[in-house]
Chain A
Amino acid sequence: MLTAVIALTLLALILGLLLGFASIKFKVEGDPIVDQIDKILPQTQCGQCSFAGCRPYAEAIAAGEVDINRCPPGGESTIQALADLLDVEPKPLDEECGVEKPKMLAVIDEQRCIGCTLCIQACPVDAILGAAKHMHTVIADECTGCELCLEPCPVDCIDMVEMTPNPNTWRWPDPSHVQLERGERV
């Protein structure tokens, strides 16, 4: 009887120590939750979620103030990733915020631009270049496709165009979706 008690006590002690050690050694070292959420958001900075950018939305999610389904540019995959991170059920995108669209790019018709600089003030990522009274251009690599510059332009000279894939950014199709033409191999 006594030996059993001693043995069990010892065992409990050892296991307890092990657990304590493990919790120190394998401590989850993550960024604060806001950073992690912000990392998942697409950074389009379009405000469709009704916040002034992705970071404010991330803060609101972290505070538990809003749902995770308010980001149209991120769409389904972003909602899924947020659900995984926060361990909640994914929901369909809130239609009130918008719909998922292909990635777009703003292009300024330089013939029509009057150089009023209003779009520069609207662009959340400073992707538009130009001086007052001179035509403006969008830096294609930095445009996030947020569409915030469309509204302010007094002469409606900004268009959103779909990003066309080029051979360097092109992706092979998913073989489970395509009926592959087989028989090309020897």
Chain B
Amino acid sequence: MTKTLGFFPGGLKLPGHKKRSTQTPIRKTPLAKRLTLPLQQHIGSAAIPIVEVGDKVLKGQQIARADGHVSVCLHAPSSGTIIAIEDHPIPHPSGLTAPCITIETDGEDNWVERHPVKDYRSLSTHEIRQIVRDAGIVGLGGAGFPSFIKLNPGVHHTVETLLLNGAECEPYISCDDMLMRERADGIIDGIEIMQYALRAREVILAIEDNKPQAISAMELALASRPHLQNTRLVVVPTRYPTGGEKQLIQVVTGKEVPSDGLPIDLGIVSHNMGTAYAVGRAIHHGEPLISRIVTVTGKDVPHAGNFETLFGTPISELLTYAETKREPDEAFILGGPMMGFSLSGDNLPVTKTANCILAGVDDVAPAQEPLPCIRCGDCASACPASLLPQQLYWHSRAKDFDQTRDYNLFDCIECGCCDYVCPSKIPLVSYFRFAKTEIMNQERERKKSDLARDRFETRQARLEREQREKEERQRQRKAALAASKAKKEQQEKAAETADADNKETE
């Protein structure tokens, strides 16, 4: 059953650089003395701590609860004592700090009591979502969107296709590749549960053709489960950025997700392979998400590979464990060379979205000042989202943000293809990131000033009302006063006449 594949416009053929990190099996990173866990490692609201400094916690114990609808819980990755709940540097391009819980590990690695589910089919889809949420599972492909939300298509949608994204198209990154090679069964456990929760009619596993070992491992695991209905593996050509959600959907189904639409509008839900594995662990083993596979690679990493790492482990320790040649505080890239960002600081923890740490990119072009745009149009031909990066660039640069919106700035997936091909070496993506955060900031300011206007007007109205009421009261008091005065006078008069009468009668 071979179906012809679709394709997306633009994109690039890039050198993979994945061999370096796929020579050895997945290794476990040693337990760190301190684990620092940001309360927000996902898209949405930060989790709220439910422990206090000094508390003893067990491995897998919940230490922060989800706050609101778009949020997930957080767990202790190992047993130990909570030693701080305070701001700490986080791996974010801003270099800012954010609230974190720090655990001093006791080295025992004692588990909390776990509650594996014997038969997931005895659970309702709602119960499955709840477990996934309580287990703190987020999309492990990079963005970190809470996974339970994507297991809930809502009443208005039926899910035609559950798409498992194993493309892993960005150079250097190989954590999904190694996971598929070594833990194919675990992944398929999760996929079965996801299919059941979504009532998906078919399941498609998409893997790029540069991962033959992962493909055969997954095929083998699939073959051992003949009861799996309508589940197939699709090998897609290696092309960057095939792993982009909308791009992969285009390749696999030939359908295009509209600019303002979501995959679910086409009846498609997609999840990352690592996420499926985490769902399997949560249901079958009662384990929350407390670790992930991180690729540590690059020119300066002689022992490159993939490392199963507890969240909160300092990235510097992970780099040291991989015997990275580096000076203290030397910069590294979090993520891949195309979409990642440069970080420095030895105090930054591994988080749920840390898929790759890259120290030393091969064949780096020497730094060069950007030249003027020559309007060659190469950027537009490379753009997988069919945007016009050149126009976006002009308008972002001129801070003409309304115009950038008209050119669909928010459809840009920041893949970096335009940057890569630009002969003038213009940092296009930096301009787009700048414009996006400026627009979001304007929105926030506008909302805030609208709120202030409302509150000012409400207060104004209240003050006027109070003033009126005060005047009214004063008027009434005056009237009452006048009335009582009149009455008193009358009484006095009456008394006087009475007095006079009395005198007369005496």
Cβ proximity bits B328-339 to A, threshold 8 Å, 1 near / 0 not: 000001000110
Determine the chain B residues whose CB is within 8 A of the CB of A186 once the complex forms. Answer: 14-15, 17, 171, 337-338, 361-364, 420
- A165–B366 CB distance below 8 A: no
B325 at the A interface (CB under 8 A): no
Q: Which residues of B335-349 have CB atoms within 8 Å of chain A's CB atoms?
A: 337-338, 342
Residue in B333, B342, B427, B458 whose beta carbon sits within 8 Å of that of A126 in the complex: B458
Which one of B93-101, B196-204, B265-273, B289-297 contacts A?
B93-101
- A125–B361 CB distance below 8 A: no
- A182–B96 CB distance below 8 A: no
Q: Which residues of A166-186 have CB atoms within 8 Å of chain B's CB atoms?
A: 166-176, 180-186
- B333–A184 CB distance below 8 A: yes
Determine the chain A residues whose CB is within 8 A of the CB of B14 once the complex forms. Answer: 186
- B459–A166 CB distance below 8 A: no
Q: Once bound together, how far apart are the Cα atoms of A60 and B454, in whole Å?
A: 20
- A183–B94 CB distance below 8 A: no
Residue in A43, A167, A174, A181 whose beta carbon sits within 8 Å of that of B453 in the complex: A43
* Interface size classification for chain B: 35 or more
Determine the chain B residues whose CB is within 8 A of the CB of A42 once the complex forms. Answer: 445, 449
B438 at the A interface (CB under 8 A): yes
Closest A residue by C-beta to B459: A126
Residue in A54, A166, A167, A169 whose beta carbon sits within 8 Å of that of B441 in the complex: A169
Determine the chain A residues whose CB is within 8 A of the CB of B448 once the complex forms. Answer: 43, 141, 144
- B367–A43 CB distance below 8 A: no
Q: Which residues of B281-335 have CB atoms within 8 Å of chain A's CB atoms?
A: 333
- B96–A166 CB distance below 8 A: yes
- B15–A144 CB distance below 8 A: no
CB distance from A181 to the nearest CB of B (A): 7
Determine the chain A residues whose CB is within 8 A of the CB of B456 once the complex forms. Answer: 43, 45, 53-55, 124-125
B452 at the A interface (CB under 8 A): yes
Q: Which residues of A26-40 have CB atoms within 8 Å of chain B's CB atoms?
A: 38
Q: Once bound together, how far apart are the Cα atoms of A169 and B439, in whole Å?
A: 11
- B92–A45 CB distance below 8 A: no
Determine the chain A residues whose CB is within 8 A of the CB of B397 once the complex forms. Answer: 176
Number of A residues near B (Cβ < 8 Å) is: 35
- B365–A183 CB distance below 8 A: yes
Residue in A38, A168, A175 whose beta carbon sits within 8 Å of that of B431 in the complex: A175
CB distance from A90 to the nearest CB of B (A): 16
A127 at the B interface (CB under 8 A): yes
B150 at the A interface (CB under 8 A): no
- A167–B367 CB distance below 8 A: no
Determine the chain B residues whose CB is within 8 A of the CB of A53 once the complex forms. Answer: 456, 460
Q: Which residues of A125-177 have CB atoms within 8 Å of chain B's CB atoms?
A: 125-127, 141-142, 144, 165-176
Most chain A CB inside 10 Å of its own CB: which residue of B14, B434, B450: B434
Closest A residue by C-beta to B436: A172
- B96–A165 CB distance below 8 A: yes
- A125–B455 CB distance below 8 A: yes
Q: Once bound together, how far apart are the Cα atoms of A141 and B416, in whole Å?
A: 36
Determine the chain A residues whose CB is within 8 A of the CB of B115 once the complex forms. Answer: none
Q: Once bound together, how far apart are the Cα atoms of A54 and B445, in whole Å?
A: 16
CB distance from A170 to the nearest CB of B (A): 4
Residue in A142, A172, A183 whose beta carbon sits within 8 Å of that of B93 in the complex: A172
A44 at the B interface (CB under 8 A): yes
B90 at the A interface (CB under 8 A): yes
CB distance from B38 to the nearest CB of A (A): 9
Q: Once bound together, how far apart are the Cα atoms of A85 and B367, in whole Å?
A: 43
- B452–A45 CB distance below 8 A: yes
B433 at the A interface (CB under 8 A): yes
Determine the chain A residues whose CB is within 8 A of the CB of B183 once the complex forms. Answer: none
Q: Once bound together, how far apart are the Cα atoms of A128 and B455, in whole Å?
A: 12
Determine the chain A residues whose CB is within 8 A of the CB of B458 once the complex forms. Answer: 126
A residues contacting B by CB (< 8 A) are: 38, 41-45, 53-55, 124-127, 141-142, 144, 165-176, 180-186
Please list 29 pairs of residues, one from A and one from B, whose beta carbons are closer than 8 Å in the complex, sorted by A's number: A42-B449, A43-B450, A43-B452, A54-B456, A55-B456, A124-B459, A125-B459, A127-B455, A142-B451, A144-B452, A166-B96, A167-B40, A168-B40, A170-B437, A171-B434, A175-B427, A180-B370, A182-B365, A182-B427, A183-B364, A183-B366, A184-B364, A185-B361, A185-B364, A185-B419, A186-B14, A186-B171, A186-B337, A186-B420
B residues contacting A by CB (< 8 A) are: 14-15, 17, 40, 90, 92-94, 96, 98, 171, 333, 337-338, 342, 361-368, 370, 397, 416, 419-420, 425, 427, 430-431, 433-434, 436-438, 441, 444-445, 448-453, 455-460
Those 9 A-B pairs whose CB atoms lie nearest each other, nearest first: A43-B449, A43-B452, A171-B437, A170-B94, A125-B455, A175-B430, A172-B433, A172-B434, A183-B367
